[in-house]
Chains A and B, each alone.
Chain A
């Protein structure tokens, strides 16, 4: 199959993929660094290239509310946001997930105010990590494009039925032009197919989970002490299923695109002495540094965590194997917590393992502070020290900040 190589930044890659998916509804409110996505998409609408109903709403809260209404009616719905926009959507993120609506949302990750900062870190989407959305973190625009096609199938998988966030680092990806291999429209259409609904027991017998006057349903009304807990357990179960469903979708997408994704992407881990685990675009820099260090005789490796929710603990434990020292890159601070979000998941995952590595957290890049190869080298050097001493002297280090 012929794929066309296009020059696109991350935001344009989102818009182009979503154009090819041709969803029923897009409702969005602009916010840097996401704006290009909806700006570009609204041009597709204006040019008649998609059948989408485009709703220019008055806030992000309304954007997601609109998507919830559309998805509840049976539509495929898409939105995009970042930072304070995602924060304004907050209550609706939980509602979208609990109503089991497979909405897709692109997040051009940006630091949360205050003080105001438009640049990249993961404080926005990490804050939403408990909202019940699947979260995919992308390293480059190619991954962004592919994830924006795969996301529909992940969320709509019959065992899953959850909304999906595709996270791309603000500016680093959103505004940086890269080469992206794109599929023909008809291949994307074939891959996403029609939206799949789950069957529920409605008030008048079995029904597809969508609002239909012929088969009336009430979605998400008062559900007190005697039922709420059971509904939450269903969400827990759906996330558990997503751990199997996502690799299934990845495998099928690989057949279409030739690009094989997975929950995590380990690199040169087999004989590694020191390794870094992290998310997003920084992992490209880490890969470059790992190659350099290998040339110099340092046995370095990395694990890129592509899917953060559901957290692929088993896959990570297996990929870490007997690597003795592991550094975690966290691009958000969790104030008052023992460490960053990824660090906490890693420590929790390894607690019950007989063989476990020394784990240290490196919080970096807040508000878009550059994560240079030099910074990554320093982290590997710190890990070498941890490995030789056999202990973690400082559990959490803030790297790249002025004293």
Chain B
């Protein structure tokens, strides 16, 4: 069903449109043919829709999620106990139709799958073609391709550019992702986990992970891609990995780069010593705040059951052995892979409590919300339907303190979170869920309500309970079509797929 978009005007809403400097301003929005337009000279034919008292924001943009492809399918099967009919709420990994419906009902209208191997791109696109409502795109794990590594081995920039360009065309990708640079080469030599620094040469190649990161970021810049290199750096989930992330940030030295799910890369502690586990956020934030070429998404964890899935098989193997959980590894023609396993985040777990606090510490100490995208790395940190809870944790200090009081006591004592009083305003929440991710992703028609923008608009009922407010939008429009109303999906138009 693809209903015709209407001409209409939303009247009297309270606009939050950070990209256009509107912060709680009462104004009308005119929509024609799926886009936001200037007030017409002749208003005949425009339906009036009363938005008085409602908070109006652009449709949400999820910059980093996992919604399609082999890893997601593996996730759907690996945890039958987390299926839809086995528990309240959605399945841990919903079907593709449910994914679109749930995102839309939440007020989100754009999503990117952040890790698709080029070899799996065709089948991922076939799946995404069945994702209703949302506009979507994929980041290609092109950095794992043998041709890329060969071009890097001879330090041939032109060849590297050509290989990446071909991969993007072939895979219809929007961006280039690197997951654990060089990690598969170490891992396949039988090393447990991916414990390596950025300056150890890959087995049999004159290439280091730092070399991969640097050259790829520059290649992406030369190709003029809308989104910078999307970086999942090495040593995900390991104690002491904050040093790896700091070195990763230093590697880029003025070149744009996006740091994915930084929460999973910000752990203090000795080398693989879980006993000294803690937060390594402070030095990282200091560097991040001082370098405006860097952007990030957090990958916040929230407590509950979910399924971890990553293009970093080595990290998944490490997690499986750390938790004793059965897992699945999937390798795609040697040029990509993934690891999938169920995981339960518990408030009283020392490690999980630290992860929770570390993510929030990132959100609350990063100075510029325009360089921060809200994410849970769905479903790794939490299901995307939990975003409203995360928004309340950010925007409601009392709620956050109450939650802090329930977690592992050692984390309560040691985390800097207890001393942080910052609370996000509605405008800042709008930035990290819409304006910033759209801008970081390079989507000029998303994340704002200016003239020429796609008419992706979400209307909320104001509520002190931010989780309640953001979990149930009054109305959601996608390209001018009413797609959801009070949690009920009203239409399932087809979205577009972004590719460069």
Q: Tell me if chain B binds chain A.
A: no
